[in-house]
Amino acid sequence: MPEVIGRSVPRADGPGKVTGQTLYTADIEHKGMLHAAILRSPVPAGKIVRLNVDKARQMPGVKAVVTAADVPNVRAGWALFDTPMFARDEVLFEGEPIAAVAATTLAQSRAAVAAIELEIQEIPPVGDIDMALAAGARLIHPKLAQYGSVPGIVFNREGNVACKYAYEEPGVDEAFARADRIIEDTYDFGRQYQGYLEPKGTVVQYRDGRYTVQSGHQYVFNLRDRLAQFLQIKPSDVRVQGMAIGGGFGGKLDFGPEPYAAVLAKATGKPVKLIFSREEDLLAATVREGARVRVRSALDKDGNIIGREFFTDHDNGAYSGELILMAGLALMFCRGVYRTGPIRTQFRLIYTNTSPTGAYRGVSGVPMISAIECHMDHIARELGVDPRAYRLAHTLNNNEKLPNGQMLHDAAILMEAYAEIEKIAPWEEMKRTKKPLEGVAIGSTVWLTNPLPASATVKLNEDGSAHVLSGTCDIGTGAMAQGVVGIVAQTLGLDPANVHVVQPDTDVAAYDGGSQGSRTTRAVGRAAEHAAIEVRQKVLDAAAPLMQTEAARLTLSGGKIHDIEDPGKAIGLTDILMMGAFASGPIVGTGKHAEQPIPFDPGCAAGLAFPTLPTPTYHVHMAKVAVCPMTGNVEVKRYIVAQEVGKALNPQGISGQIQGGVAQGIGYALHEGLRVKDGRYMERSLEAYRLPLAVDIPEVEAIILEHPADEGPFGAKGTAEPPIVLAPAVIHNAIYDAIGVPLNSIPLTPENILEALERRKSA
Amino acid sequence: MSPTRPLILLPPSGKRQVTVMDFIYAQKLEEALDALRSQAGRAKVLAGGTDLMIQIARGEKQPQALIFIGQLKDDLATISLSQDGYLNIGALVTHRQICADRHIQANYPALATASASVGGWQTQSVGTLAGNICNASPAADTIPPLLVHEAVVTVQSAARGLRDVLLEHFITGRRQIAIENDEMVVGITLAPPPADTADAYLKVGRRKAMEVAIAGLAMRLTMAGPETVGELRVATCATGPVSRRASEVEALFSGQKLTNELVTQGASLLGRMIQPIDDTRASAEYRKLVIPKLFRGAVLECLAKLGIAISGLEKS
Ligand SMILES: Cc1cc2nc3c(=O)[nH]c(=O)nc-3n(C[C@H](O)[C@H](O)[C@H](O)COP(=O)(O)OP(=O)(O)OC[C@H]3O[C@@H](n4cnc5c(N)ncnc54)[C@H](O)[C@@H]3O)c2cc1C
C-alpha cells in the first residue's frame, strides 16, 4: 500500500465535474416544484410609497407573492442584526429584495414580478464611505444602537459606522516627533466579485412543519441559523442539505436566495426553486469590500521604522455580514511581517447605500496587506534602497510578536521562502535583465487560519470502504475530496478510492464552521483523523479475539489486520467487518476539533471576535511585469510563490490552489473592477466585469515549504486562502518598478497607467 | 418549404413578455430569400447567433421570425479566390475559418488578426464575418480591416438578384446597414492588395480575449519608394458611432516622405478627429490618448512587415 499522504492522488469528485454528471442545485427537480423570482429595488435609496401585488397575484401560473407584510418583522445577521428579509418602508441599496413570487414556470414568475406595482420616492444615496463619514451625513441606520448582536463581541457603533476598533501602543506620537522622516500613503481598493461559475440558487421544501433547504453552500450551519432568525423558528426546524458547489470564494457563506424560497415554499406548500440570474447574482453578491487604507511610518536616520499609524476604512454596504467580525485583522496586519516600533491602528466598517459586502478569499486582509506591502516599497524607494533588501533587514524573526500579542514562533520561515525564490529567480539578475517598462517586485506576509470548530464521523462499511460524514462541503479546493479522504485513507490503510465524503447535512452532521478560511483540511481533517483513529482501534479490538491475541499487537494496513509479532498472521478487514459486526456492532468513530487558546495581549484584543487566529503560515511572492506603452496594459511575465503549508498532503492540490489564488489576485489588480457610482454598480454583467482568462495569467511557479505542525493532521496547516493576499500588492509594486511612479489604487487600470506614463513623459 | 418551428424564449429579468417567434430552417439559399420576401420585414437572418440571440434575450430586438441560414454551408461557407486574385468570403464563413486561411494570413493579415480577436474560441467558431458587419456595432473588430481593404459586400434578394455595395456605404450608422427587408448578405469581396503593401490591426482590451474593443485601429500602408508613402489607409473602431476611414489623415501621407514628424502629425490629427464616448469599458479621454499611440504602433508594424527601417522614427 503506497503512502497516501504526500502523494498527488487525483480528486474523487473530478471526473463527475468534468463530464457533467455532478448534480448541482439547478439540476434538482421535485414533483410540483415551483419557480421563484425576486423583485429588487431599482434604486439605491428611497421610501417605498406604494407596493401593490394584487395584479401580480392574478397573473397566470402565480401561486404566491410575498412581501415584508408576510414575514416576521425582524432584523437578522451573522453578528450584528441589522438586515431585514424584505425592504419594509425603505430601500437601502439597489437590488434589495422587496417581494418574491412563486409560479409554475420561471417565465410566469418573472412576468409577475414585472407586474408588481412599486413606487419609490428616491432619496440621494449615501454612495460611498466619504459621503457616509461626512459631517451631517444622513444616517443609513438611525436605529443602529438598538440592533441586537451576538453575545461576547463588542461592536462600537456610531453614526454610519457599524463597527469601530482602535488601539495604540505607548510611544507612537513620540516616535513621529523624533522621526528623521515620515512617509505616508493612502491606498484605495475597489470591490471584487467572487465570480464563481454557479450563481446562487436553492430549492426549499416545507413539510411537517420543517424546512428542507438544498443549496450549494459553504457554511450550512450558518445558513440554518440565518433562516431560523428570519423566520423566527428553531434552528433545528431547518434542515440544510449541501449540494455540490460551483465555487464560492467566501460569497456563499451567508444567506442568498434561501429565506425567500422558504417563505414561498410554506405559502404554497410546494417545493420552490430560486436560482439567481447572473446579473442578479452580481448585483446582490456580498462582494469583497472597497476599502481605503492610510498608513504612515516614522523612520529614523537609518531607515528603521520607529512608529506606525494604520487606519483602515471598509465599505460595509447597506447591511452587515461577516466583515464586522474582521476588526482584529487591523491589529494583526498593521505591522505586516516587519519591525515597526509602536503602532496606532484603527478599523472602521462603514455603512453606505450600496450592495452589502462580505467575504472574498483573504477577507478584509487583502486591502490591509496590500497597503503594507505597497507602503514598504514606497519607503525603500524613498530611502533609495532596494525593496527586497529593505524587507530582509526588517523582517520579523522567530518568537517575535504580532501587535495582538500572538507569538510567531517560526517567522524565520520567511527567510527560507526568500532564499528558495532566490534559487530559481535571483533578484539581482531579475533586476538586471529587465527591459524598458518591465518591473519586478517581491513581498511577504503571514496569514492565519479560520478557528471555527469541526466534527467528523467515519463509518466503516461491510465491504471495507469508509464514509466520512461532516458538516462541510468541498468548496472546490479538494480539502474534502483530497485532503480529508487522504487523511482517513492513510489512517485506516485504505485505498483513497474506497473513502467517500458525504455532502453536509445539518440533520445528520454535528456543527461545523464551514468551508472557509483554509480551515477545512486542518479542522475537519483533524476531526476525521480522530474519528479514523477510533475506527482503527475498534477494528483492532474486534480482530483481537478472532486472531486470539491482543489488540496492542495488531496493525491495520492494506485492507488487512497484521500481528506485529507474527508477520505471517493476518486477517482481512472485510472478514472482521462481516464476523466482527455480529459481536461488536457496526464500526463507527467520531472526532472533533476545537482550537486550543492562543496566548494574546488582552489589553488590546479583548472584545474582538477573533483576538487571535491559529496556525500562522508564511508567504513570499515575486512578480515580473511588462507595461505596454501604447495601451497601458500589463502583462504578468512571471509569477513565483514560496508558501509554507505545514505538510503538503496532496502537492498537486496545493499547486492548484496557489495557481487559482494568484489568478484571482492578478484579476483583482489588473482586470476586474466593480465600480460604484451614485450607489450603483457600473459593471453589471460578466461582459463588463472582466474576470481574467487563462490566457491572461501566467503559469505560477509554486515552491512548497514544509514545516509540519505538531497538532496535525499529518502536520498540515491552512493553505488554500492565502495565495491571493500578496498578489495585488506585488503586481502594484512591479508596475511601480516599471513606470517609476506608484499608483496607490487597485485595480490598476490601463487608464491610470497610461496617464501615469504621460505624466512621466511630460515631467 | 423550409421547416418552421416555434421558438420560445424566457423573458429577461424585469420584462413581462415571453418571446415566441417562428424559427425557419432554410435548406437552400432560394428558400432563405423566399422566406425573407414573404416575411416582409418580420424576420431577421440568423447566422451564428452570437449577436442576435443575445439581443433578443435582452429584449433589444423582437423579430417575429428568424430565418436560420446555418444549413446553407455549401453555398455560403466558402472562401474562394478568383483568377484575377479577388477573394470572396461567403456569408457563413466564421472567424475561425478566416484566421486559419493561408491566403488571408498572407494578404490581409489584419483581417486574420481581427477575426482572431472576436470574443473567444467559441464565438469565433460560430460567429461569422457577415454577422459582424451586419450587426454594425461601433466596436466590431473586422470592420476597420475590411474598410482599409475597401471590401465590397454582395447582397441578394429573390426579387432583384445580386447587388454590390462598398462596405463604407453599407454601414450607414450605429447598428445600421444599407439593406432592404428582402435582402441578405451572401458574400464579401476583397481586391488583391498592391505590391509593397502591409497591414495591421491593433486592438485595445483589458484582457487578451473575450473583449469588446475599447478601441481598435486598422492600417494599410503601401510604399512607393524606400521612404515614400504611396498610400496610407486607416480606420478605427469604438471611437465613434460608426467605423470610418480617416481620409484627412490618409491625405497627409499620400506621396509623402515618411518621417517621425509626419507620423506625429497624423497621429495627433487622428486623435482630434475621433469622437469617442465614455462607457463602462473606458473613458473617452483614454480612447483619445490611446488612438494616436495605436496609429504610430500600426505604422511601425507595417514597416516591420515590409522590412523597411526608417531612421528617426520613435517607438512611442
Ligand atoms: C461572448 C461574445 C464575445 C464577443 N466578442 C466580440 C469581439 O470581441 N469583437 C466583435 O467584433 N464582436 C464580438 N462579439 C459579437 C459577435 O460574435 C460577432 O459580431 C459575430 O461576428 C456575429 O456573427 P454571427 O454569425 O453570430 O451573427 P448573428 O448574431 O447571427 O447576426 C448578427 C446580425 O447580423 C445579421 N445577419 C447575419 N448574417 C446575415 C446575412 N448573411 N445577411 C443579412 N444579415 C445577416 C443578423 O440578422 C443580425 O442582425 C461577441 C459576441 C459574444 C457573444
pTM of the model: 0.96
Query: How far apart (Å, rounded) are the C-alpha atoms in residues A104 and A151?
Result: 43
B194 to chain A, minimum CA–CA distance in Å?
Answer: 29
B235 lines ligand 1 (CB under 6 A): no
Mean local confidence (pLDDT), A32-58 = 98
A114 and B204: CB-CB below 8 Å? no
Number of other residues whose CB lies within 10 A of the CB of residue B11: 19
Of B53, B191, B210, B233, which is closest to residue B141 (Cα–Cα)? B210
Q: Which of A656, A649, A639, A660 is nearest to A706 (CA)?
A: A649
**DSSP-assigned states of every residue in A242-303:** EPP-S--TTTTSS-SSHHHHHHHHHHHSS-EEEE--HHHHHHH--EEPPEEEEEEEEE-TTS
Contacts of B206 in chain A (CB under 8 A): 633, 670-671, 690, 749-750
Place of cell 503549508: A645
- Strand pairing partners for B188? B89, B153
Give the chain B residue whose CA is nearest to the CA of A669: B206
> Looking at residue A576, what is its pLDDT?
86
User: Is B237's C-beta closer than 6 angstroms to any atom of ligand 1?
Assistant: no
Residues whose CB is less than 8 angstroms from the CB of residue A425 and which lie 6 or more positions away in sequence, other chains included: A622, A638, A640
Question: For residue B287, which residues of chain A lie inside 8 Å, CB to CB?
Answer: none
Question: Residue A107 is nearest to which of B11, B207, B296, comparing CB atoms?
Answer: B11
Q: Indicate the DSSP class of residue A475.
A: -
Please name the residues in contact with B161: beta carbons below 8 A apart, sequence gap of 6 or more. none
In angstroms, the CA A40 to CA A355 distance is: 12
CA neighbours closer than 13 Å in the CB half-sphere of residue A367:
34
pLDDT of residue B174: 95
Q: Write the DSSP assignment of B268-315 as a string of letters.
A: HHHHHH------SS--HHHHHHHHHHHHHHHHHHHHHHHT---TT---
A218 contacts A514 by C-beta, under 8 angstroms? yes
Mean pLDDT taken over chain A: 96
pLDDT of A1 reads 59
Bridge partners (DSSP) listed for residue A274: A202
Which position has the higher pLDDT, A84 or A153?
Answer: A84
Question: What number is the average pLDDT over the span A280-291?
Answer: 97
pLDDT of amino acid A337: 98
- Which CATH architecture group holds B73-190? 2-Layer Sandwich (3.30)
Q: Which amino acid is at A484?
A: V
The pLDDT of A281-301, averaged and rounded, is: 97
**In the predicted model, is pLDDT for residue A2 greater than 80?**
no
pLDDT attached to residue B40? 87
Q: Is B134 in the pocket of ligand 1 (CB under 6 A)?
A: yes
Binding site membership of B302 for ligand 1 (Cβ less than 6 Å): no
Subunit contact A277:B281, Cβ cutoff 8 A: no
Q: How large a percentage of chain A has pLDDT more than 70?
A: 100
Residue A386: which of A435, A442, A445, A450 has the closest Cα?
A: A442
pLDDT band for A623, please (50, 70, 90 cuts).
very high
Region A73-91: mean pLDDT is: 98
Q: What mean pLDDT do residues A497-512 have? A: 96
Inter-chain touch B10–A629, beta carbons under 8 Å:
no
- Residue A286 sits at φ, ψ, to 5 deg, of -90, 85
**Helices A220-231, A258-268: crossing angle, 10 deg rounding:** 50
Into which CATH architecture does domain A291-450+601-762 fall?
2-Layer Sandwich (3.30)
Residue A743: pLDDT above 70? yes
State how far residue A695 is from chain B, nearest Cα, in angstroms.
6
Closest CA to A402 of A711, A164, A612, A170: A612
Q: What is the CA(A697)–ligand 1 centre distance, in A?
A: 28
In the prediction, which pLDDT does B12 show?
60
Q: Do residues A702 and A475 lie in contact, with contact meaning Cβ atoms separated by under 8 Å?
A: no
What is the A478 CA–ligand 1 centroid distance (Å)?
39
**pLDDT reported for residue B58:** 84
d(Cα A249, Cα A514) in Å, to the nearest integer? Answer: 12
If one looks up domain B22-68 in CATH, what number appears? 3.30.43.10
B155 lines ligand 1 (CB under 6 A): no
- CA dihedral angle for residue B255, residue B258, residue B264, residue B267, rounded to 10 degrees: 50
Mean pLDDT of A553-572: 92
**Pocket lining: B185 vs ligand 1, CB cutoff 6 Å:** yes
- Residue A1 in 3-state DSSP? coil
Is the pLDDT assigned to residue A316 strictly greater than 80? yes
Residue ranges of domains in chain A: 14-21+452-593, 32-123+200-275, 291-450+601-762
What whole-number distance in Å separates Cα of residue B281 and Cα of residue A671?
11
The pair phi, psi for residue A629, each rounded to 5°, is -70, -20
Burial class (CB in 10 A: 0-12, 13-18, 19+), A233: middle
DSSP state for residue A667 in the 8-state scheme:
I
Strand order in the sheet with A588-593: A499-501, A466-470, A454-460, A588-593
For residue B35, CA distances in Å to B31, B44, B49 come to 6, 10, 18
CA distance B15 to chain A (A): 6
**Domain pair A14-21+452-593 / A32-123+200-275, same fold:** no
CATH code, residues A32-123+200-275: 3.90.1170.50
Task: Tell me if A280 and B208 make a contact (CB, 8 A cut-off).
Answer: no
Q: What is the pLDDT of residues A357-398, one digit of tens each?
A: 999 999 999 999 999 999 999 999 999 999 999 999 999 999
pLDDT in tens, B307-316: 999 999 988 7
Length of chain A, in residues: 763
Q: What residue segments make up the domains of chain B, in order of their start? A: 22-68, 73-190, 197-306
Regarding the beta carbon of B94 and ligand 1, being less than 6 Å apart is answered no
Regions in chain B scoring below 50 on pLDDT: none
Task: Collect all residues with Cβ–Cβ distance below 8 Å to B100 and sequence separation of at least 6.
Answer: none
Cβ distance of A695 and B290 shorter than 8 Å: no
Residue A724: exposure state from Cβ atoms within 10 A (0-12, 13-18, ≥19):
buried
Separation CA A601–CA A403 (nearest Å): 8
What pLDDT, on the 0 to 100 scale, is given for residue A584?
A: 78
Strands A181-189 and A745-746: parallel
Which segments of chain B does DSSP mark as H helices, in order? 29-39, 52-57, 73-76, 95-100, 102-107, 109-116, 121-126, 129-135, 143-148, 167-170, 247-253, 260-273, 284-306
Ligand 1 centroid to residue A437 C-alpha, Å: 37
Cα distances (Å, whole numbers) of residue A396 to A338, A341, A370, A382, A446 = 5, 12, 18, 22, 10
Chain B residues lying within 8 Å of A758, measured CB to CB: 289
- B159-181 burial: b if 16+ Cβ within 10 Å, else e: eeeeeebebbebbeeebebbbee
Question: Which one, of A288, A216, A222, A200, lies nearest residue A78 by Cα?
Answer: A222
pLDDT of amino acid B16:
59
User: Under an 8 A CB cutoff, do A696 and B120 touch?
Assistant: no
Say yes or no: A682 contacts chain B, CB-CB below 8 A.
yes
- For the residues of A483-515, what is the DSSP string, one character each? IIHHHHHHHHT--GGGEEEPPPBTTTSPP---S
Tell me: pLDDT of A585 over 90. Answer: no
Mutate to test the interface with A, among B19, B203, B206, B295 (most CBs of A within 10 A): B206
Chain B contact for A131 (CB, 8 A cutoff): no
Asked if the Cβ–Cβ distance from A693 to B207 is below 8 Å, we say yes
DSSP summary character for residue A26: G
Instruction: Spell out the residues 6+ positions from residue B24 whose beta carbon is closer than 8 angstroms to its own.
Output: B2, B3, B4, B35, B43, B65, B66, B67, B68
User: A667 vs chain B: nearest CA distance in angstroms?
Assistant: 10
B46 lines ligand 1 (CB under 6 A): yes
pLDDT-based confidence at residue A579 (cuts at 50, 70, 90): confident
B185 alpha carbon to ligand 1 midpoint, in Å? 13
pLDDT score, position A256: 98
Q: DSSP for A77-97, please give it.
A: -SSB--B-SS--SEE-STT-E
The whole-number pLDDT of residue B13 equals 58
Regarding the beta carbon of B211 and ligand 1, being less than 6 Å apart is answered yes
Distances (CA, A) of B122 to A319, B95, B96, B117, B125: 40, 10, 9, 12, 5
Per-residue pLDDT at B5: 80
The pLDDT tens digits of the residues spanning A162-213 come to 999 999 999 999 999 999 999 999 999 999 999 999 999 999 999 999 999 9
Q: Which amino acid is at A680?
A: R
Q: Is the pLDDT of residue A578 over 90?
A: no
Q: Which CATH number fits domain B197-306: 3.40.50.1110, 3.20.20.70, 3.40.1160.10, 3.30.390.50?
A: 3.30.390.50
A727-739 vs A365-383: helix crossing angle, rounded to 10: 30
Q: Please state, as a whole number, how many other Cβ atoms lie within 10 Å of the Cβ of residue A89.
A: 10
Tens of pLDDT, residue by residue over A512-523, are 999 999 999 999
Distance CA A755, CA A636 (A): 20
> What's residue A762's pLDDT?
85
Distance to chain A for B43, nearest Cα, Å:
24
Instruction: Look up the CATH architecture of domain A14-21+452-593.
Output: 2-Layer Sandwich (3.30)
pLDDT greater than 70 at residue A341:
yes
pLDDT attached to residue B122: 95
Residues 6+ apart with CB under 8 A from B92: B47, B69, B70, B72, B73, B76, B77, B128, B130
